[in-house]
Amino acid sequence: MKKSMSVLLILLMMGTLFAGCGQTDEEGQDTTTMIDSNTSDSDTTSETGEESNSDTSEEADAEIYMFISMPEYAEAIETLIAEYKTVKPNVTINYETTQNDYPTLLKTKLNSGEAPDIFSSTSGKEIGVYLDYSANLANQPLAEAMSDPVKNVMKSGDEVHGLSIKGNFFGIVYNKGIFEEVGITEFPQTLSELESAAIKIEDAGYQAFTSGFAEWWVFKHVFQHYLDAAQPENVEGLVNAFINGEAKMQDYPELYNDFFNFIDLVVKYGDDKILEADLSTEIAALASGQTAMVVGQGAWIEADVLKIDPNISIGFDGYPINDNPDACKVIAGSDQAVRIYKDSDVLDETLDFVNWWYTSDYGKSWFSDVAGVIPPITEGVAPDFEIIKQGNVHVNNEGAGTLGVVYSTDSFHQAFGEIMQGYIAGVKNKDQTCQEIETKWVELEGNN
């Protein structure tokens, strides 16, 4: 399962190339969405649906419970479920999604005997964490349809225990129009250049950054760039050293100095109420022309930004780490896995649904045409988004950074984000923050 991520990620982006990420309301609180497929218009059938209706008219009714994170795809998944209702009218899919405290809620459901038929996790390390609950999909048609780099982060040995909604690009999304207006022709590649740009942007009357720091998962997206810079040839080994209590943040200037310098810079030139700024804040601030740069996001926000301003000129680049411009890289890969509960009472019907999702003509087009994501399948076509096009150029020219989020679980990532929120609030200093992060890595990951 744990192969060389850099090679795999570059292949992914050159082939069929995302947090994740959560969605919150205007008060910074998590939004939970419940969708029942019975609410779809089952009288409206596609050509495929008409054929399937005659084949399934005598099949027994089945009810599938789908509980996953990534609520930013709720509308797209609702559309997917409605289309499947035309194909399998006897199947009801009850869909629930939330980002806030998802790992805890999922474990509660699994331990209480209320396991969802479909659930989600981070790919990579968490494939092993939930191995006893998830079905092996290696012999399913969807595994044949999946691109190899995506499949490799879903594996445990030769078994495949997950599928992906999307591939991802991670980096800084920015408003090219603001940059051009203030006279910045190239995106900064070093931290000192980034600070100079932030000052110039603020002097022109714009806000330099919007952070999303109300969201715990934003911090994991940012931090992985600094993990990659600290040990680019072996991010997995570095994370394991922290998990085993063998490494300290102070041992790595990219983590102890550069990461915190960046966070401090965003706080200084960012949102007025920085710990209330969430995903929706970031999208609105960028699209409205209020803010020049978005932190902790990636390819998944472009569709929502374009809904507000279809004419915005979007730019995309890596994080300027320090004074080494070569360390400024985008990160690419598939960081989220959808899992199938192996002891589901409706296992056959659930497998039918996810196989249809990955192999039918509608399913294959859904990734790009409906969800607007980088398809995780070999026959998918990437949507015509600037972040994806520019991300591919960066990967081809500079290589991709390692997708470090897959080497830790979301239980750790959530704790990490909450610790960083305490640092930003001034509750603890940098040394206390680093010590708490190191302790949580051992406590939460050491037994996994």
- Reported pTM: 0.78
Place of tokens 């209330």: 276
Is the per-residue pLDDT at 287 higher than 80? yes
Output phi, psi for 374, to 5 deg: -75, 115
Name the one residue in this structure whose structure tokens are 């998830």: 134
Give yes or no for a contact between 424 and 266, defined as CB atoms under 8 angstroms apart: no
With respect to residue 398, please indicate whether it lies within any of the assigned structural domains.
no
| pLDDT value at residue 207 | 98
**Residues 156 and 268 reside in one and the same domain:** no
Amino acid at 184: I
Residues 10 and 71 in one domain: yes
Q: Are both 187 and 236 inside the same structural domain? A: yes
Q: Say yes or no: 363 and 273 in one domain.
A: no
404 located within any domain: no
Q: Looking at the domain assignment, is residue 403 inside a domain?
A: no
Same domain for 229 and 376?
no
- Structural domain boundaries enclosing 149: 5-168+336-382
Distance, C-alpha 168 to centroid of its chain = 7
What integer pLDDT is reported at residue 448 of this predicted model?
54
Which one-letter amino acid corresponds to residue 305? Answer: V
Name the 3-class secondary structure at 134: strand
What is the number of structural domains in the chain? 2
Q: Tell me, yes or no, whether 158 and 189 share the same domain.
A: no
Predicted local confidence at residue 341, as pLDDT:
98
Q: What pLDDT shows up at residue 26?
A: 33
Q: Is the pLDDT of residue 20 over 50?
A: no
Task: Tell me: pLDDT of 6 over 70.
Answer: no
The reply to whether 389 falls in a domain is no
We report the CATH number of the domain holding residue 92 as: 3.40.190.10
Q: How confident is the model at residue 58 (pLDDT cuts 50, 70, 90)?
A: low
CA-CA distances (angstroms) from residue 155 to 3, 135, 336, 378? 10, 11, 13, 17
CB 380 within 8 Å of CB 367: yes
Same domain assignment for residues 27 and 109: yes
What is the mean predicted confidence (pLDDT) over 407-434? 96
Q: How confident is the model at residue 39 (pLDDT cuts 50, 70, 90)?
A: very low
Assess whether 51 and 93 both reside in one domain. Answer: yes
Q: In this structure, is residue 188 part of a structural domain? A: yes
Q: Check whether residue 156 and residue 184 sit in a common domain.
A: no
Q: What is the DSSP track for 248-313?
A: -GGG-HIIIIIHHHHHHHHHHTS-TTGGG--HHHHHHHHHTTSEEEE-S-BGGGHHHHHHH-TT--
CA dihedral 40, 44, 50, 54 (to 10 degrees): 60
